[in-house]
Amino acid sequence: MTYPFSAVVGMDDLRLALLLNAVSPAVGGVLVRGEKGTAKSTSVRALAAVLPPVTVVAGCRFGCDPASPDPGCLDGPHEPGAAARTRPAALVELPVGASEDRLVGSLDLERALTEGVKAFEPGLLAAAHRGVLYVDEVNLLHDHLVDLLLDAAALGTAYVEREGISVRHAARFLLVGTMNPEEGELRPQLLDRFGLTVEVAAPRDPAVRAEVVRRRFAADADPAGFAAGWAGEETALAGRIAAARDRLPGVVLSDAALRQVTAVCAAFDVDGLRADLVTARAAIAHAAWCGRDEVTEDDVRVAARLALPHRRRRNPFDAPGLDDETLDRALEDSRPDDDPPPPDGDGPDDGGPHDGGPDDGGPDDGGPDPGMGGDTGGSDAETQVKPPMPGGDEAAGEPTTAPRGEGGGRAEAAPAPDRAAVAPDAPFRTRRLEVPGIGAGAAGRRSRARSERGRVVGATRPAGPVTRLHLPATVLAAAPHQRARGRTGPGLRLVRDDLRQAALEGREGNLVLFVVDASGSMGSRARMAAVKGAVLSLLLDAYQRRDKVGLVTFRGTDADLALPPTWSVEAAAARLTDLPTGGRTPLAAGLLRAHEVLRIERVRDPRRRPLLVVVTDGRATGARGGDHLGQARRAAGLLAASEVAAVVVDCEAGPVRLGLAAALGVSLGAQTLRLDELGADALAGTVRAARSAA
């Protein structure tokens, strides 16, 4: 049973965004962001039931409209007056693990090359034509699939290109994606391609929560009766959508309203002009939905609240949001002098809860989270782009020079008290850290890997259907047999055994596990700010390279898994910002905890290769007695024996350096870099110096 759309409780912004796209698919789709268990999927799946039915050419796999069939339809050409049938609007779901062929369709290269037949099997884009295409957990979909999906949604056409053979078909659909931000964000470039975005959360009003539970129980107890009880409202809602679609072409966007649209977009400093187009289309759709023939200021306000929050992001750690005061001021400044302000209470919620209008308060529009990557509130010395290297450890919990004792510290010294969390320095562009060798993990941008996309590095005999033809290898395999096959004219005679599949090499995403020393030995506030800024920079790099990340910290007497491996780089950045420092340095405990985390992850995701990044000065201290430095080296040897690729970031500073982090790197079999060597600019300078010396 499909849960009735009219029975979805609350979340008025989500309902309105879906309805505006149902009225005008040109708005560009909806991205729904929210925590788990907030009925995101339920709302989307229920939408299909209230969409007007579609009339299609009978027998057409691509759902052509009999009134205006696609002239290039592969099942056509369709003659005027062709037999037609009416069916409900389709709701097609795209699984996260879908292949490119499953999305856009597959072309049988074997038949095309050996028989000259263009055999095409339509994909999900064809099935969703004139309906809804739903992508759950769109943030976990591979980037190249998201690109294909959004291109088709923007162009209304799907293209399949294989070795010089091209197929195209119409693909116009309402695109809806849902995601849980805790599992990772979409890249800003992909976010911008969604027309509208809404944030959803579970209601905090006990009465509303009770109503949700009550309706869920009623639906489970009697699915047919529950649906029948809402059938009247469903029919009325479907009729209102159809009426709004009919009214849409006649809605007027006056010059004054257009100036308000552009003024709002300029006030929020959005990139490009897509925001202006989407906001204008959404305002027109809202006017049609409300039964108006002309766009008003209220329509512009509603459209801006849905179309602009996700376009204000400046880095991956900024939360989407919209400031109501800025919106009101922009609308007021662009209002003609003789245009009176709208009356009190005349807002976007005119339709009531079942009409999909937003509530009075709207979404959480507190503006972007100052979070990470912005002004940290520190001095100029603490916010420079390059990681500063303070000259001493005057505020450290352990002596700087430490003439005696293991790990450079004195075992009998009292542990340093915990210090408040230090804000990180501004992030900078880092060099690319890679896992050696060639992997076979999920597509990404870090380490070399065999993949479905990338450069051709060889050819193999295909185990199944040929998806990437290696033409030179195929020709070489077929050439010796042409006379035996009776070839007398131009062109090769090919058989199945001649075909060769191209072997491609691209990049994969890795599991980047950070092990961060948060003990008192890490020194002054300025030094810890530099360390956090460096780790934040590496987190930003991991976000851009589509890595999974985890965070282990150690201080005091033990290590803590601050963040289990996740796609949410934002969560790792938040944990890092709030990380207090102080106490002793249980380095061995940190390394052993990392070994355990990687062991479990290897079972869960065996194809994803890990990269261990240890951020420390190499010191190891603990309670009185004990070979703490020896324990750390033995723990490092355990990681080295499991063949974990690692990098040690040496945080030691000051005039006297003990080289303990470098020694740890040797035990791990890892590359060791100083803080000031992490930047991409530092790497470029090293390369230039090496070339000059050569």
Catalytic residue numbers? 274
Copy the structure tokens of residue 229: 């009880």
Count of CB atoms situated within 10 Å of the CB of 80: 7
Q: What is the DSSP letter of 657?
A: -
For residue 140, which of 178, 175, 196, 108 has the smallest C-alpha distance?
A: 178
Q: What is the DSSP letter of 532?
A: H
Q: How far is CA 458 from CA 204, 462, 502, in A?
A: 58, 12, 6
Copy the structure tokens of residue 573: 């950045």
- At 540 the three-state DSSP class reads helix
What is the C-alpha to C-alpha distance for residues 375 and 379, in angstroms, rounded to an integer?
A: 10
For residue 660, which of 518, 522, 540 has the smallest C-alpha distance?
A: 522
Element (H, E) at 644: none
Q: How far is CA 182 from CA 8, 185, 256, 567, 574, in A?
A: 24, 8, 41, 8, 11
Alpha-carbon dihedral angle through residues 187, 189, 193, 199, given to the nearest 10 degrees: 40
Q: How far is CA 89 from CA 55, 58, 238, 246, 547, in A?
A: 9, 15, 12, 17, 37
Residue 543 near residue 417, CB atoms below 8 Å: no
For residue 17, which of 305, 292, 264, 235 has the smallest C-alpha distance?
A: 305
Copy the structure tokens of residue 118: 């263009």
| CA dihedral sign, ordered 56, 60, 61, 65 | negative
Q: Which residues of 191-206 are buried (b: 16+ CB within 10 A; e: fewer)?
A: bbbbbbbbbbeebeee
Residue 651 near residue 661, CB atoms below 8 Å: yes
| N-terminal to C-terminal alpha carbon distance within the chain | 72
What is the C-alpha to C-alpha distance for residues 298 and 48, in angstroms, rounded to an integer?
A: 27
Burial (CB count <10 Å: 0-12, 13-18, 19+), residue 643? exposed
Strand residues in 217-262 grouped as ranges (E): none
3-state helix, strand, coil in the chain (%, to 5): 40, 15, 45
